[in-house]
Amino acid sequence: MLTDVWFVRSRRLAIALLIAVAWMLVVAATASADRPPRIVGGNTTTIAQHPWQAALVFDPAKKPGNDFQRQFCGGSLITTRIVLTAAHCVFDTDPGPLGLGTKLDPDDLDVVLGRTQLSGGGGEEHDVQRIEFHSGYNPATAEKDVGYVVLQAPSAQQRITIAGSDEFGLWRLGARTVVSGWGGTSEGGLGSDVLKEAVVPIIADATCETPGVYGTAFFRTTMVCAGFLEGGTDSCQGDSGGPLTTPAGGPRRLVGLVSFGEGCARANRPGVYSRAGCPPLRDDVAGDVFQLEAQEGLAHENVVGSGRGPCDETAPETAISKGPKKKLRTRKKRRRAKAKFVFSASEPGTRFECSVDG
């Protein structure tokens, strides 16, 4: 994998670029004024692009309105009968007479699959047989934020497989992943009737656990951050439990579940996702699904892609294989300089970031 980067150092060009960027911003702002709001920074999409995407909707007896008005969380179809979601979507939202530690009752919700526009009908609407969540879920810290919804009947929609260890290269640091859902289109705002998606790069654990980001609220073994430190694009309320996946163009795999964030799309507050694609959560999900299948008399279905080992966190080997050797000494020379660098990496898909000093 080779990437060419050109550096042009010229004040006039820089000014011209600034003017061009400013003009494009004005054009973009004008153009967006007559478009509907969407997942902060994302696009509308169709269920065909995310066929495993599920909507959790309250039962009409519990909340009036159409499926758009009753939607409260997302999920992913991982077997023909099981939808993976966030524990916080099904945990303690309906304490009932038993108080804390209970979960939604199966007849409190339905699951919509195979539908782009929630209010539009079509696709599948499922009754729920059973609800569970990860036995280690900690509602105070959001650790192990994983929940399960067992459908009363099998779905005909395409399911998604959780990324195995051989597939970790698809979503390691800097990789583009995709989050989708019908959640808020702005912080505190309304959801979207039409499914939306946003591309969100994976952010380093070391970045996410700095005090300026999430500090000690981020747990790297069970969470992963994705999004933009500058803000602007993110998942939001109502997207919870929904899929963070590898993008189209390669094998689609489930790598995370929408879990939490401080607000939506704020600077230095990227989305935090349950780290479904790595142990321990990946193994826990496989084990929980196996147990649910046995208890409910369902045929076993494999939910993990290739490789059962740990996520290998070591970064690919990188090198500058071509580039100028000497620093330019005078400012005049530096201003005029034009240089070409060629970077190489041991793995395809590697992204490079660099800064230049003379």
Residues engaged in binding ligand 4AZ (CB under 6 A): 234-237, 239-240, 258, 260-261, 264, 271
User: Of these residues, 88, 108, 110, 235, which one is catalytic?
Assistant: 88
Q: How far apart are CA 197 and CA 181, in angstroms?
A: 7
Distances in Å between the Cα of 56 and the Cα atoms of 68, 196, 298, 300 are: 10, 15, 22, 24
Q: How far apart are CA 250 and CA 205, in angstroms?
A: 24
Q: How far apart are CA 186 and CA 231, in angstroms?
A: 12
* Of residues 165 and 274, the one with the C-beta less far from ligand 4AZ: 274
Q: How far apart are CA 79 and CA 161, in angstroms?
A: 9
The side-by-side arrangement of strands in the sheet containing 318-322 is: 2-8, 338-345, 318-322
* Of residues 167 and 234, the one with the C-beta less far from ligand 4AZ: 234
- Shortest Cβ distance from residue 33 to ligand 4AZ (Å)? 24
User: Of these residues, 235, 240, 259, 274, which one is catalytic?
Assistant: 240
Q: How far apart are CA 55 and CA 50, in angstroms?
A: 12
126 is catalytic: no
User: Of these residues, 67, 108, 110, 145, which one is catalytic?
Assistant: 145
Q: Read out DSSP for 87-153? A: HHHHBSS--GGG-TT-B--GGGEEEEES-SBGGG--SEEEEEEEEEE-TT-BTTTTBT--EEEEESS
240 is catalytic: yes
* Of residues 257 and 292, the one with the C-beta less far from ligand 4AZ: 257
Q: How far apart are CA 253 and CA 246, in angstroms?
A: 5
* Of residues 104 and 264, the one with the C-beta less far from ligand 4AZ: 264
In terms of DSSP bridges, do strands 82-85 and 71-77 run parallel, antiparallel, or are they unpaired?
A: antiparallel
3-state DSSP assignment of residue 58: strand
88 is catalytic: yes
* Of residues 171 and 260, the one with the C-beta less far from ligand 4AZ: 260
* Of residues 195 and 292, the one with the C-beta less far from ligand 4AZ: 195
Instruction: Please identify every residue annotated as catalytic.
Output: 88, 145, 240
